[in-house]
Structure 1
Amino acid sequence: MTVTASTDLRACVGIDRPGIRAEGVTKRYGRTVVVDDVHLDLPLGGVTALIGPNGAGKSTLLSIVGRLLAADGGRVTVAGLDVATSRSDELAKAMAVLRQENHLDIRLTVRELVTFGRYPHSKGRPTGDDLVHVEKALEYLDLTGLADRFLDQLSGGQRQRAFVAMVLCQDTDVVLLDEPLNNLDLRHAVAMMGRLRDAARELGRTIVVVVHDINVASCYADTIVAMRDGRVAACGSPAQIMQPDLLEDIYGLPVRVHEIDDQLIATYYG
């Protein structure tokens, strides 16, 4: 495929004030390269969606940015902090991360879990200000009525919202979310993305999400990064990325793009 203007990676490299910068980031497992020399600048503010087929390297890249995985090469900075060398407590005040899988060995209520998000600030001794943040996060994710329920009494979608509330309660400028729509039904998925978009626009957060649904990315993201085979295949606005030839090249199947109520929606078929 001939690279068109919409796959010009300069759209996401060389930004004057990037919130997140990846320089030559590489990750290998044995001889298999899963993230391959990625250079990427993500802007301050707004929602960035990482999309691509399974095995494209989306979650691995996000885990490296969030210091959940160590890179085998390259450098990542978040809000000017070197992810590999910055102190954990300093980094935790700048960046919050939600893993794809979350398991706890202790029994907690929703409120107790969300309060953990304040630990970088409270060191386990929450103040009145910390508790105000907790209540706001519970309300923001529509969890006030479930605040005193134990996590093992909730549905998978309710637990997912509780973990997202914990991350937002950390009150960081940068928020990384790996598949935050897992286990959410359509109504709650739409509500979740709407709240994340509002948090980015109204609270000035820089939010990066890994999503599988390209239409979610199109409708809610300000910037889309499309990955394939461990590399960034395209980066730009939804209008730049939601192009049939580009999406067909990334996903390997025919794609049509339609404009519906001012939104670009892809349909695909085998």
Structure 2
Amino acid sequence: MIEINGVVKKYQQTPVLNQISERIAEGGITSIIGANGAGKSTLLSVISRLLTPDAGHVSISGLDVATTSGDRLAKILSVLRQENHFTSRLTVYDLVGFGRYPYSRGRLTGDDRQHIDTALAFLNLLPLKDRYLDELSGGQRQRAYVAMVLCQDTQYVLLDEPLNNLDMKHSVAMMKQLRRAADELQKTIVLVIHDINFASVYSDHIIAMKEGDVIYRGTPQQIMNSETIEAIFDTPVTIEQVGGQYIAVYYR
């Protein structure tokens, strides 16, 4: 379980997170939704120790994120940031292999290579494994970054906008793969996502943020109604049930 207790974050005295206290249960997919500037990515960064809160603390499986050694934390928690830049020329295989660093320290074993091959296959990247990152499309690179995170083989996987640079077809494929990772690999996946329909269809739980606060939480069935979505995004919307799923089908 991820426990967030009284987390506050400010940027130059401007509040970004306002006393956030939340529990994210183990297993499944939890999506964090909200308008731009709601604090979604900041909250994910605090959970993953990429940012230090001004107050409050976060624990994962009972371990205090702030005080747990990096080596230990990297074996239970992996994270994909929204922006990823590598200055050296890397192949897809090399990039995904970075996910094994907490275990291999750069000296890949047979077990490490098996994890790399499994992650590449999981994201359908084996045909591209010897290609350089600068030879790939933005969507292909994004899949490679997600494969690197999955290759780390942690219980908790945090993804900030994993659908960046993906078209509709590849966004659907990515969400299906993340759903598989949660169901078949027993991962706890927490992701920041803008598309509320993807959040509705593929998530077990949704956390909705607005202006630095969590204003709603619940299952997709509980969150996906016109009144709630309009309150989150300040935009009139119609929600319909399509094939057993709740979908925003018309923005007015």
Same fold? TM cut 0.5: yes
**Counterpart position of 1:97:** 79
**Counterpart position of 1:185:** 167
Deviation string for 1:145-203 (max 9, x for gaps)? 00000000000000000000000000000000000000011111101101101111111
1:81 & 1:182 partners in 2: Cα distance? 31
- Secondary structure in structure 2 of the residue aligned to 1:117: helix
Displacement of 1:246: 0.9
**Counterpart position of 2:13:** 31
**Counterpart position of 1:144:** 126
**Given the alignment of the two structures, is residue 88 of structure 1 paired with residue 80 of structure 2, yes or no?**
no
Displacement of 1:112: 0.4
1:112 & 1:79 partners in 2: Cα distance? 30
Of the candidates 31, 36, 41, which is equivalent to residue 23 of structure 2? Answer: 41
Displacement of 1:267: 3.1
**Counterpart position of 1:12:** none
**Given the alignment of the two structures, is residue 110 of structure 1 paired with residue 89 of structure 2, yes or no?**
no
Following TM superposition, where does structure 1 have runs of at least 4 consecutive aligned residues deviating by more than 6 angstroms? none
Deviation string for 1:8-60 (max 9, x for gaps)? xxxxxxxxxxx211000110012210111001000000000000000000000
Contact 1:34–1:57 (CA under 8 A) maintained in structure 2: yes
Give the percent of matched residue pairs that are identical in Structure 1 and Structure 2.
57
Of the candidates 50, 60, 70, which is equivalent to residue 52 of structure 2? Answer: 70
**Counterpart position of 1:56:** 38
Displacement of 1:64: 0.5
Of the candidates 130, 153, 160, which is equivalent to residue 171 of structure 1? Answer: 153
Moved more, 244-253 or 159-168: 244-253
Question: AA paired with 1:108?
Answer: L
1:140 & 1:80 partners in 2: Cα distance? 30
Deviation string for 1:75-126 (max 9, x for gaps)? 1011221111110000000000000000011110000000000011111111
Question: AA paired with 2:225?
Answer: Q
Of the candidates 153, 156, 168, which is equivalent to residue 138 of structure 2? Answer: 156
Question: AA paired with 2:185?
Answer: L
Unaligned runs of 5+ in 2: none
1:260 & 1:78 partners in 2: Cα distance? 36
- Secondary structure in structure 2 of the residue aligned to 1:121: helix
Question: AA paired with 2:21?
Answer: H
2:68 & 2:41 partners in 1: Cα distance? 22
Contact 1:253–1:268 (CA under 8 A) maintained in structure 2: no
Q: TM-score, normalization: structure 2?
A: 0.99
Q: Kindly tell me the number of residue pairs found equivalent between the two proteins.
A: 252
Q: TM-score, normalization: structure 1?
A: 0.92
**Counterpart position of 2:219:** 237
**Counterpart position of 1:264:** 246
Unaligned runs of 5+ in 1: 1-18
1:119 & 1:67 partners in 2: Cα distance? 18
Displacement of 1:268: 4.3
Deviation string for 1:59-78 (max 9, x for gaps)? 00000001111100101011
**Given the alignment of the two structures, is residue 251 of structure 1 paired with residue 237 of structure 2, yes or no?**
no
**Given the alignment of the two structures, is residue 22 of structure 1 paired with residue 4 of structure 2, yes or no?**
yes
- Secondary structure in structure 2 of the residue aligned to 1:175: strand
Question: AA paired with 1:43?
Answer: A
